[in-house]
Amino acid sequence: MLLSLLNRKEKLKFLDLAMHMVSVDGEPTEIEQRLLNMMLAEVGDGIVKEYHFSLSKDLTETIKFFEESNKTVKNIAYLNMLKVAMSDDFYNTAEHFFLEDIRNRFSISETKKSQLMRLVYSERDIRERAKRVVTH
């Protein structure tokens, strides 16, 4: 969501962060992998040709990159991290602590976190309503 607004380096760094997010509790689930593929498609063909799904060796460097980014970039990255974490129905403690660490490092308030989470839930609700409408 809104990943197309990021520049090339921000997109690559986001994909790296997302890979760390899905790996925090083991191997990515099928749903997480599908969502990562959709995000990869959203960032554009140039990035697709350049990016390979593998963890970078330096998560700290990736987080530092976003810490130094503007508020909009941080919010877009965090919004999409929430989307990844909430893509499957299993939201475990490791993901929660990872997201909270990211939120604090990005200086995202509880209020902004709640707003971003509502967006993710709203998107999920629309998808479910669309499924019901087209199948009935």
pLDDT digits (tens, 9 = 90+) for 30-69: 887 788 878 877 887 677 666 666 666 788 999 999 999 9
- The topology (CATH level 3) of 3-135 is TerB-like (1.10.3680)
**Nearest of 91, 96, 127 to residue 113 by alpha carbon:** 96
Give yes or no for a contact between 59 and 20, defined as CB atoms under 8 angstroms apart.
Answer: yes
Q: Distance (Å, rounded) from C-alpha 49 to C-alpha 67?
A: 27
Give yes or no for a contact between 63 and 17, defined as CB atoms under 8 angstroms apart.
Answer: yes
Every domain of the chain and the residues it spans: 3-135
What is the pTM for the complete model shown?
A: 0.86
